[in-house]
Amino acid sequence: MTQHLKTSPRDSVFNVQSSHGMASTVPVVPRGVFSPSTPPPAVWPPLDFALGALACCAACVFTNPLEVVKTRLQLQGELCARGSYQRHYHGVLQALWVVGRTDGLRGLQKGLSVGLIYQGVMNGVRLGSYSYCETLGFTRVHGGSLLSGAVAGALGAFIASPAYLVKTHLQAQAVEAIAVGHQHNHLGVSDAFVTIYRREGVIGLWRGVNGAVPRVMVGSAVQLATFTSAKDWVLKSQWFSSDSWLTALVAAMISGVAVAITMTPFDVISTRLYNQPVDEFRKGRLYHSFSDCLLKVCQTEGVLGLYKGMGPVFLRLAPHTVLSMVFWDLMRQRALKYDLSQGRT
């Protein structure tokens, strides 16, 4: 019989310490990222992959409009000096209003279907891999949680890169009056995949992955470290009860500041690399590499150009972290309780 659970029925899932860091939100309290911890009860790895994917897809439905706005802000004034271009978007709320008024409510959910594919694949691999590393005991090693989070994030980003490429193309598309960045004019998700494949081949589907991998590695590692520490600090401060969702929200907001500051430059570069047009030789017309993009942005737009779209990055991180981690934690607890009720040991 397949072994779904590696714990004694006597151990309640509510009493076992977890070191999931950003993964576990309620009601258990994770130990410090760099300190040894007892492995939590293990969910069957394929099931854990699926639960992680479903949790992040559920969160994506609520946060996708901020992703659309973030993409537009990051492409606005691409390789142009400050003040030398027309600004269609002036902030998060104004951008949401402009997109909704011009493209309609459907415009705020552009790229949602492929965004769900990306979230499902990337986070299914990322969270599932991290959970598997935890089960193997890698996270109990000094610094193991941070390293496991970064490696799991890089693996997920690489595998899901084609979906992120198409998502960026679709979310950048807009009517001419408010268009920013290169317009690929895809007719839909399937048309985008087919067009890119016919024009650039299989390798073209992974264009921009050199920006996505460091982006997710940095974001995943920082989020893992700061969310765990912030949640522990909030609990020690006794502002809320230990099982309150407000504890996770405050921890996610604190974590969101650190992640937004460290990840936004990588996010901007990733968006630019994904959205740039290509020439007849299948080479990027604007940037040749990650470092080339970094230098060109700094030279033409200044260092602040690397922080375009930081507002929606932060506003999206907190609710997305809370929703995805709470959904994942609740579903894992359900799976563990089901295994316990079935008497699996």
289 close to 207: Cβ distance less than 8 angstroms:
no
SS3 content of the chain, % helix, strand, coil (to 5): 65, 0, 30
Give, as one character, the DSSP assignment of residue 303. Answer: G
What b/e string do you get for 15-35 counting C-beta neighbours within 10 Å, with b at 16 or more? eeebbbbbbbbbbbbbbebee
Query: How do residues 99-155 score in pLDDT, each as one tens digit?
Result: 999 998 899 999 999 999 998 888 778 877 887 888 888 878 888 878 888 888 899
239 close to 245: Cβ distance less than 8 angstroms:
no
Question: Per-residue pLDDT for 28 more than 50?
Answer: no
* Alpha-carbon distances, residue 330 vs 125, 204, 325, 337 (angstroms): 18, 38, 8, 10
**Structure-token match 């264009």, residue found:** 207
> Could you check whether the bond before residue 36 is cis, i.e. omega within 30 degrees of 0?
no
pTM: 0.79
Spacing of C-alpha 21 from chain mean position: 15
Phi, psi of 219 (to 5 degrees): -60, -45
Query: How do residues 285-333 score in pLDDT, each as one tens digit?
Result: 999 999 999 999 999 999 999 999 999 988 887 777 777 767 777 787 7
